[in-house]
Amino acid sequence: QVPDGVEPLYPNTSVMEDQNEDESPKKSTLWQISNGTSSVIVSRKRPSEETTKRKRICALKPLTQWSESDQVEFHGHINSYLKPMLQRDFITALPEQGLDHIAENILSYLDARSLCAAELVCKEWQRVISEGMLWKKLIERMVRTDPLWKGLSERRGWDQYLFKNRPTDGPPNSFYRSLYPKIIQDIETIESNWRCGRHNLQRIQCRSENSKGVYCLQYDDEKIISGLRDNSIKIWDKNGLECLKVLTGHTGSVLCLQYDERVIVTGSSDSTVRVWDVNTGEVLNTLIHHNEAVLHLRFSNGLMVTCSKDRSIAVWDMASPTDITLRRVLVGHRAAVNVVDFDDKYIVSASGDRTIKVWSTSTCEFVRTLNGHKRGIACLQYRDRLVVSGSSDNTIRLWDIECGACLRVLEGHEELVRCIRFDNKRIVSGAYDGKIKVWDLQAALDPRAPASTLCLRTLVEHSGRVFRLQFDEFQIISSSHDDTILIWDFLNVPPNAQNETRSPSRTYTYISR
């Protein structure tokens, strides 16, 4: 430290050579000492490194002679001195600087358990959480990222309280804090219902005119569209279960369909593909290409793929409902092609020839064959790297599409597995034995999981072969040779069917204050 009245004459330190053998070069600084009227220049030499080292050793030598208890006591004194200097309650300090939004933003990353704990730290933390509406933001984050939360918000009606720009547009933070455990209770109940097979069953009797059977279906929140063996397409009110419209035009059974907000596309045993206006029911286009029954089709983003009993796969460009042109025909299967699926990378097809074939979506070139099923393959779904297929060998297989490896074989159905769907948690399959089985997908992908733990539940209500099914987080909708469509509701289950069982498959934690 520079004494009062002393100023460095040269700010830079100069190194001066010293000829003493036992000392290393020393650094010296020139200082000007002034009393106001006169000044004198002096030089102060800095101690050498060797001198500093000797002094350090001398200073530390007594410490090495301390007992263990002396050292612990010494470190305790140091810790008690430094700890208050290192601790900072930044959540309390930030609002004092007018930075409430930063404190809120930091706490908004907490999960429910941590947010509960943060509320108990002090009144200031509780105030930041309350005024920042952090319980509301936590619920909104879950709704944005989890389809189960999103669907539940719409079905329970609390979505109306979310994503409001102004705090005055909605309830206070206490409303959302009390809402959160109710949501968790709902989710745990749904998961338990899936695992235990508890459901509310609704039945649509299709009352086909001649031949009975519902071959295909698709649904949304308002309607169910079904393709029937009697050549018709029926549109049903999903809530009232009444038939809203019947579309006729095919001269054979309607074997497959898909719709979006504009059109319904159907394939039939009359070998044609028809495009209908989803609102008016008017026929917009008829594609005549396949020589035998059109067994399955998929369309997305201007591309459609159809497959047929004639062993071929047709790839179509869909510029508009009335402008659909054939791009390529894929040939390679040695029997009827029963099902197709695709994304931007691959087209996947399955056939009665016991194989699954993979094709490039962009070039339509053949990529690889997946072999393993012992008999013909009736159904499959493809997403990301995973292909799940069902066969007349009564098994379900899981495949890695990139390497062609079979990851797991699921056994349990007693007859041909006719339809299969999966999401991130479950596989749901329907078979000619009239049964619908729910499987644990994550366990199936774990090679260590015992085979006996994979099937979560078997649902038996259909009296005939199960032809098609679709499901989401809350329900399964299935169709059958028995001429019915069944809605298996796992959300709105009668109270007398409930018990205290909770599902271990998905865990949420909430701690009450």
What pLDDT is stored for residue 9 in this prediction?
Answer: 41
pLDDT above 90: residue 36: no
Q: Residue 182 maps to which CATH number?
A: 1.20.1280.50
What pLDDT is stored for residue 35 in this prediction?
Answer: 53
As a whole-number percent, the residues of the chain with pLDDT over 90 amount to 71
Asked whether residue 125 falls in the same domain as residue 207, the answer is: no
List pLDDT tens digits, range 136-190: 999 999 999 999 999 999 999 999 999 877 666 678 889 999 999 999 999 999 9
- 215 within some domain: yes
Asked whether residue 166 falls in the same domain as residue 202, the answer is: no
Quick one: which of 209, 204, 143, 215 has its CA closest to 176?
143
Distance separating alpha carbons of residues 194 and 200, to the nearest angstrom: 11
* Global confidence as pTM: 0.78
- 466 within some domain: yes
Joined tokens for residue 296: 């399955």
Asked whether residue 211 falls in the same domain as residue 190, the answer is: no
Band the pLDDT of 42: cuts 50, 70, 90: low
What pLDDT is stored for residue 45 in this prediction?
Answer: 63
As a whole-number percent, the residues of the chain with pLDDT over 70 amount to 87
pLDDT above 70: residue 38: no
Joined tokens for residue 454: 């994979």
What pLDDT is stored for residue 93 in this prediction?
Answer: 83
Asked whether residue 98 falls in the same domain as residue 211, the answer is: no
What pLDDT is stored for residue 167 in this prediction?
Answer: 62
Supply the angle between the helices 100-107 and 123-131 in degrees, to the nearest 10.
Answer: 90
Quick one: which of 278, 274, 316 has its CA closest to 299?
316
Asked whether residue 291 falls in the same domain as residue 143, the answer is: no
Q: Residue 231 maps to which CATH number?
A: 2.130.10.10
Beta carbons of 392 and 407 less than 8 angstroms apart: no
* Residue that finishes a domain, picked among 195, 212, 241: 195
Asked whether residue 168 falls in the same domain as residue 121, the answer is: yes
Residue 99 belongs to domain spanning: 90-195
Asked whether residue 397 falls in the same domain as residue 414, the answer is: yes
pLDDT above 50: residue 10: no
- Which H or E run contains 78? helix 68-86
Beta carbons of 226 and 485 less than 8 angstroms apart: yes
| Between residues 83 and 500, the one the model is more confident about | 83
Beta carbons of 211 and 230 less than 8 angstroms apart: yes
Asked whether residue 94 falls in the same domain as residue 211, the answer is: no
* Residue that finishes a domain, picked among 195, 223, 255: 195
pLDDT above 60: residue 378: yes
pLDDT above 70: residue 461: yes
pLDDT above 60: residue 3: no
Distance separating alpha carbons of residues 360 and 335, to the nearest angstrom: 21
Band the pLDDT of 243: cuts 50, 70, 90: very high
Asked whether residue 183 falls in the same domain as residue 215, the answer is: no
Joined tokens for residue 439: 């499987």
Cα Rg, the chain, nearest whole Å: 37
* Residue that finishes a domain, picked among 195, 227, 245: 195
- 33 within some domain: no
Beta carbons of 276 and 282 less than 8 angstroms apart: yes
- 76 within some domain: no
Cβ atoms within 10 Å, residue 22 = 6
Distance separating alpha carbons of residues 163 and 23, to the nearest angstrom: 74
For the segment 464-492, the average pLDDT, to the nearest whole number, is 97
Sheet architecture: strand order including 346-351: 337-342, 346-351, 355-360, 366-371
For the segment 503-509, the average pLDDT, to the nearest whole number, is 36
- 414 within some domain: yes
For the chain, the average pLDDT equals 88
| Between residues 235 and 42, the one the model is more confident about | 235
What pLDDT is stored for residue 512 in this prediction?
Answer: 31
Say how many domains are in the chain: 2
